[in-house]
Structure 1
Amino acid sequence: MPSPNNLNQTTPLLRNTVTAIIVSMTMNLAAQSASAPTVEEKQKNQLNNANVIIVTAPQHSPLVVVSSLKTPRQPVPASDGSDYLKTIPGFSQIRNGGANGDPVFRGMFGSRLRILADGAETLGTCPSRMDPPTSYITPESYDVLTLIKGPQSVLWGPGASAGTILFERQPPIFDRAGAKGHISGLIGSNNRQDGNLAVSLGNQQGYLRLVGNRASADDYKDGNDVTVPSKWNKWNADIALGLTSLDQDMLLELTAGKGDGAARYAGRGRDGAQLQPDSLGLRFEKHNLSEVWDKVEAKIYYNYVNHIMDNTTLRSLPIGGEKSSTNLDRQTLGSRAMATGLWQDFKLIGGADWQTNTHRMKKNNHWKNNARFYNYGLFSELSWFATPQSRLITGARLDHNSVERYADNKQRSDNSPSGFIRFEHDVLDMPVLLYAGLGYSERFPDYWELFSYNAAKKAPSAFVSVKSEKTTQLDIGAQYNGVSTHAWVSSYLGQISDFILFKYDPKYARSIEINNVDATVFGGEMGIGYAFNAHWKAESSLAYSWGKNNRDQRPLPQIPPLEARFGLTYEQGNWSNTALWRVVSHQHRVAIDEGNAAGKDFSPSAGFAVLSANVAYRWDKQIKISAGIDNLLNKNYSEHLNLAGNGGFGYAAKTAINEPGRTAWIKLDVTF
């Protein structure tokens, strides 16, 4: 525990937050001892989740995780999409700095994860993924997050062998003219400031929605009070104009968005001086077409990212150092059309999607094309409700992929089939769900795997030699939903042919070779929650991933270690208090100087445990105040998935970047 002297040296915000949490817990415990729960409360044995900050397990199926993005999670607040995803069991993150980390699920990275925001894909530009897709996503500006684990859906695009992630906004519904919305503000340690606005004006015929966010933070300090270069700032603004029918069966929506940001990276030789996304989208939905056709939907979108990375805007150039700056951009245009049919015991979803994206670099004030990708896909999913308890779901898609390299006008193309079959069963007279699914996915190499490495002159070109990755995976799981107990388990076993592996220079953070190996992966996640009574609830989760390079008989790189989370919540009236204990094991199964487009294994890692706590008070139905402390005991630690600190900031070679020390925050949410 921190000593009184250390505690007195913390910021006023931290002292006030500590005091608020201690006073709140004391008051709530006293109230609980003074008024025992009634019989009705004991029978319910459930907490009011609207008041509670989520800390561990998903709230729905173990295969498909659905989470409200308006409900805060700890550690909070999320600076971007990756920061939010790492709070879900099975996810980890390759740390960039204070923001823009790269998400990893079950040890799988990059385009093995399909990430869509309102059905559209935004692709980053940096060859070493300084700006991954999630860096352009502000979670709180969306409503719902959906995670589909493994190759168990074909509706949302090619690849996605590890999973599919959907950030979605739900259209506002008005039964009469009016306004509704959500406003939040947050302040925290390291001068963290965050403001979010989502307001909709409308009636039964349509709506106008405005969404905005501005957030920033200074460099944070680790548990040893050492400053880590990590400051960042970003803003985004989106507008949507929707037209609806009186019965809400039809929607036509036009959207536009713009943003910008910058981030300093302790683990890189340059920083993100500009992270500028623009977007346009148009979607159409029509429900209840006939007795058979339930829904048709279509979307077309345009996303553009303009990114500048340099070593002068956000850091001081070392003595004798040379200025370095690169301006890159990417334009993405895509569309999707789907129809849903229902008849008797069957549900059929079918459609087609298309995407093209062009990557460019600016030289001498002129843009020069580097690469252009094309994808055309056909897909369908069929669900058979064989009995009230049993369902069989199958899906298949076929994609044609092609890419053009402008440097020498070379092209390559391939056809990629994917599919799955899954059986789900609700046990009769028991709150138990069982499922088992077998999936296959072929993934065409992405931009980072074909273009973004510095190969030795004698090494074969990745553009020519790297093969498509082929994953065959078995997913099985179960879920129990009792009166007081909720438990789930989700596991997988996969065989990956032609796994795309990066090999790095031992002295530098650049790849020198990319090739294919065969690999085996397995692991899973599990969780349990138990409500002792109407006030107390405990929950925990466990996530484990394992991977082996079968060709070289050694571990796959960039596999996160075993991780457990334990949460304890007390709720009384409008108050809730939650403590989170995150425990991470060491990782000795490493492949030194091997990795992916963003990072490599450079050493084994030690385990650690971090304690966090929060308190929330709902003033009324519209106003909620919450406060918390992440890393309450000021633990000094680093994650296994890490970028070695950069020498320009004084880091020795292969030194891991430490995580933030004790961090306090206070947040106000207003819903109307």
Structure 2
Amino acid sequence: MKTRFFAATALVAVASVCPAFAQSSDQTDGNLIIVTAQRTTALNLDREAEEELATGPDAAAFIARQPGMALVDNGALSGQVQMRGLFGERIALRINGQHFATGGPNAMDPAMHYAPMALIDRVEIARGASPVRDGPGLGGGINAVLKQTRFGEAGTLAPQVDVSAQYRSVDDSVAIGGIAGLANDRVRLGAIASWEKGDDMRFPGGRVGGTGFERAVYGVHAGLRTGPGEISLEYRRQDTGRSGNPPFAMDIIYFHTDFFRVGFEGELASDLTLEAHADYSGVEHRMNNFALRPTPTVAATRQSDTYADTMGAGLSLRFGSSDRHIRIGGDFEAIDKGFMLYNPLSPTFFIHPLDRAKSDRIGAFAEARAALGIVDAELGFRVDRHGASTEAPRFGPGVPMGPANLARAFANADREWSGTSVDAALRLSAELGVITPRFTLARKTRAPSLVERFAWLPTEASGGLADGNIYVGSPALKIEKAWLAEAGFDWKSETAYARPLIYYRRLEDFIQGVPFDATPGVLDTPVEMVSAASGDSTPLRFANVDAEIYGADVAFGTRISGPLRLDGVASFVRGKRRDISDNLYRIAPANVRVALAWEADHWSLTGEALAVAKQRKVSATNGEVPSQGYVTFNLYGNWILRDGLRLDAGVENLFDKYYVEHLAGYNRNSGSDVALGARLPGAGRSAFIRLRWESF
């Protein structure tokens, strides 16, 4: 939409006169993990992201290697990160500090869809509860920071280059990308670009049909040091081409997405720092059920066009130093989304399951960091006012009577909502020599999504659950609330480290699919009749329930002798309903990952084992199938060819093990060697090679 482009341009023009957001300089305490280690974790966390063994196309699989994390695999470019049992919009997900609405009603473009591995500099993870300054969110927070040119040390403009290229055999995929720019001590200018393409993924016994992908990213960024701080500006465009999503009823035909961001960070006076930002994202998306899978009948042919626009801004003042201060601020976000479903072979059949839907949020927060004797404390509090509305749905004359009547009924219903959420977080830590105890208490919230609230037409749009069920929304949904308690410690000696944590999260008004009425399977309502005509006689509706999630995870490692070292992570999470006897859907099974490495001066060789337990604690409500445990092995290494030039190579799933990840979706593509309705298998043996050149 042209109006969206002009709106974004106007936003950037206006915002450029005010100070810009840069990455918060005080997000370096022990509660925040900067993921840059070569293995699952390391004593020195300050390494490059590309040193991690993560050959998939985006950041989701990379992040999933960290403690407490797991990959919800909905497609090569549609993976979601599960963090201690929570995933999707319940996590505060950002790219370069920018939060935005995804374009797909089934989350085919989750946040990490917009973070190609070739462009990632680092990933910042708040595992337990994200800071209140980052906005509301039921769980922790993840911020994927893309590469940018950096300020130089001298006054002369000097070139900077950071590019990489990779080939992976399991899907014959290629990826190339990086940055190039000029910078001195006051100005930085840069361009960013990447391109990836892959074919169907192979597994022991065949191929997973409809899993090819294609994606291109390009953009520019700039920074200017002036007086008190830095003004920054960036624009990025992403064009995702035809990419398969076999767990869903449709595949990606395209995503065309624009990102704008302008900001400032600097000292206005001694011990007074201002941070501000304004941003915009616009997504246009098409998906269908015939381009990447066997052609359906004319009557069953479906295509969908969607859009999502997000405008946001924020401002904060910090009084004091980076580790001892009071911070106050405010932010807002406005989202506009739409979703049209139609048959391209029948012009009279079109319907808008989500029509010109809007949500907005305005919030204020305060944080304080102080020392209470030997204890470092951070206390944060925020309040947000939320609003949501949608227009009466439009539909064509070819729409059957059942959906048409549902549309008319929804048009006469209350289509507006507003509510208030309150978040708070207390973090305590104390450095006691080699050990640092940590304790967190938090109350976190999340407002229902537009799909959860206003999806009146029974469809499979569920925000990425990919369970094969048909859902409808509930306009009266309440805000989700979570009470979190977390305790653990960091221990570090000259040769070893460990960071164990245990946690408990009590969930109130948790949004979960429940049977549409008290007589599931009995077609006694219009919704159930329409759902049955689409193949599901037992639809679910989004409703508020009570639940709980608890577990533990640990990162550990030791230098055994000389260049030989051991690193690993282990995770356990349990999620269940408190109102009925059932488990939460798609909870990762217990797992442990261990890597044994030989590190020489200019090369290293690592063997890695991943052991995953079976999962029998599954959701009956969602029709979830149990899974078996498995063990896989990887072998990889790197070689510094010369200063600034590095070669990585390896083999994943070394013994070509057939395995099925519990969080994988169920196959919906009949043009595949995987049976319809079966959980999708993991990738077979795959060799990869990657070359990176960096010059600063």
Task: Sort the TM-score into its range (normalised by shorter chain).
Answer: 0.7 to 0.9
> Secondary structure at the residue paired with 1:71?
helix
1:40 — aligned with what? Answer: none
For residue 40 of structure 2, the aligned residue among 56, 62, 76 is: 56
- C-alpha change, 1:157 and 1:498, in structure 2 (3 Å) is same
* Offset, 1:164: 0.8
For residue 418 of structure 1, the aligned residue among 399, 414, 423 is: 423
Paired with 1:59 and 1:256, the residues of 2 have a C-alpha distance of 35
- C-alpha change, 1:232 and 1:461, in structure 2 (3 Å) is closer
2:215 — aligned with what? Answer: 234
Paired with 1:528 and 1:447, the residues of 2 have a C-alpha distance of 41
> Secondary structure at the residue paired with 2:617?
coil
Determine if the alignment matches structure 1 residue 493 to structure 2 residue 504: yes
Determine if the alignment matches structure 1 residue 670 to structure 2 residue 693: yes
Deviations 1:545-604 (A, max 9, x none): 01121110222221110010010000122110011100000000011242xxxxxx5210
- C-alpha change, 1:340 and 1:142, in structure 2 (3 Å) is farther
Paired with 1:186 and 1:53, the residues of 2 have a C-alpha distance of 19
Determine if the alignment matches structure 1 residue 168 to structure 2 residue 191: no
- C-alpha change, 1:163 and 1:68, in structure 2 (3 Å) is farther
For residue 173 of structure 2, the aligned residue among 192, 195, 199 is: 192
> Secondary structure at the residue paired with 1:671?
strand
With 137-146 and 486-495 compared, the bigger mean Cα shift is at 137-146
- C-alpha change, 1:341 and 1:191, in structure 2 (3 Å) is same
- Aligned-partner residue type, residue 539 of structure 1: D
Deviations 1:358-386 (A, max 9, x none): 00235789998431010001012101123
Structure 1 gap ranges (5+): 1-51, 61-65, 595-600
Determine if the alignment matches structure 1 residue 654 to structure 2 residue 659: no
Paired with 1:663 and 1:352, the residues of 2 have a C-alpha distance of 48
For residue 60 of structure 2, the aligned residue among 70, 82, 86 is: 82
Q: What is the correspondence of 1:178-577 to structure 2 with a 5 Å cutoff?
A: 178-189=158-169, 190-245=171-226, 249-261=228-240, 262-287=242-267, 289-293=268-272, 295-318=273-296, 322-342=300-320, 346-362=324-340, 369-387=355-373, 389-407=374-392, 408=411, 410-427=415-432, 430-452=433-455, 454-455=457-458, 462-503=473-514, 508=536, 512-577=540-605
Paired with 1:277 and 1:148, the residues of 2 have a C-alpha distance of 27
Determine if the alignment matches structure 1 residue 588 to structure 2 residue 616: yes
Determine if the alignment matches structure 1 residue 641 to structure 2 residue 663: yes
- C-alpha change, 1:235 and 1:515, in structure 2 (3 Å) is same
For residue 635 of structure 2, the aligned residue among 613, 617, 620 is: 613
Conservation of the 8 A alpha-carbon contact between 1:220 and 1:228: yes
- C-alpha change, 1:509 and 1:602, in structure 2 (3 Å) is farther
Paired with 1:467 and 1:545, the residues of 2 have a C-alpha distance of 26
> Secondary structure at the residue paired with 1:185?
strand
Conservation of the 8 A alpha-carbon contact between 1:146 and 1:165: yes
Paired with 2:663 and 2:377, the residues of 1 have a C-alpha distance of 37
Task: Determine which structure has greater relative contact order: mean sequence separation of CA pairs < 8 Å that are 6+ residues apart, divided by chain length.
Answer: 1
Paired with 2:444 and 2:552, the residues of 1 have a C-alpha distance of 19
Paired with 2:106 and 2:321, the residues of 1 have a C-alpha distance of 48
Paired with 1:521 and 1:571, the residues of 2 have a C-alpha distance of 39
Paired with 2:477 and 2:646, the residues of 1 have a C-alpha distance of 52
Structure 2 gap ranges (5+): 1-35, 393-410, 460-469, 522-534
Deviations 1:192-220 (A, max 9, x none): 10001211212233121111110111101
For residue 74 of structure 2, the aligned residue among 96, 100, 121 is: 96
With 503-512 and 475-484 compared, the bigger mean Cα shift is at 503-512
Deviations 1:219-238 (A, max 9, x none): 01112234443110101012
Deviations 1:627-670 (A, max 9, x none): 01110110111111122111533654531001110011100010
Conservation of the 8 A alpha-carbon contact between 1:376 and 1:399: yes
Q: Give the ranges of 4+ consecutive aligned residues of structure 1 lying more than 6 Å apart after TM superposition.
A: 363-368, 504-507
* Offset, 1:57: 2.8
Conservation of the 8 A alpha-carbon contact between 1:492 and 1:523: yes
* Offset, 1:460: 12
Matched residue pairs, number?
599
Paired with 2:538 and 2:384, the residues of 1 have a C-alpha distance of 31
> Secondary structure at the residue paired with 1:527?
strand
* Offset, 1:452: 4.3
1:15 — aligned with what? Answer: none
> Secondary structure at the residue paired with 1:619?
strand
Determine if the alignment matches structure 1 residue 149 to structure 2 residue 127: yes
Conservation of the 8 A alpha-carbon contact between 2:451 and 2:473: no
Paired with 1:530 and 1:480, the residues of 2 have a C-alpha distance of 12
- Aligned-partner residue type, residue 253 of structure 1: S
TM-score (norm 1): 0.84
Conservation of the 8 A alpha-carbon contact between 1:69 and 1:139: no
Identity %: 20
- C-alpha change, 1:268 and 1:361, in structure 2 (3 Å) is closer
Conservation of the 8 A alpha-carbon contact between 1:70 and 1:140: no
Conservation of the 8 A alpha-carbon contact between 1:569 and 1:577: yes
Deviations 1:139-193 (A, max 9, x none): 44232211112225101111x2211111224661112320112010111212210
* Offset, 1:343: 6.4
Paired with 1:265 and 1:648, the residues of 2 have a C-alpha distance of 12
> Secondary structure at the residue paired with 1:312?
coil
Paired with 2:256 and 2:138, the residues of 1 have a C-alpha distance of 29
- C-alpha change, 1:274 and 1:392, in structure 2 (3 Å) is same
TM-score (norm 2): 0.81
* Offset, 1:356: 0.2
Conservation of the 8 A alpha-carbon contact between 1:174 and 1:202: yes
Paired with 2:561 and 2:670, the residues of 1 have a C-alpha distance of 55
- C-alpha change, 1:461 and 1:538, in structure 2 (3 Å) is closer
Paired with 1:259 and 1:520, the residues of 2 have a C-alpha distance of 38
- Aligned-partner residue type, residue 561 of structure 1: P
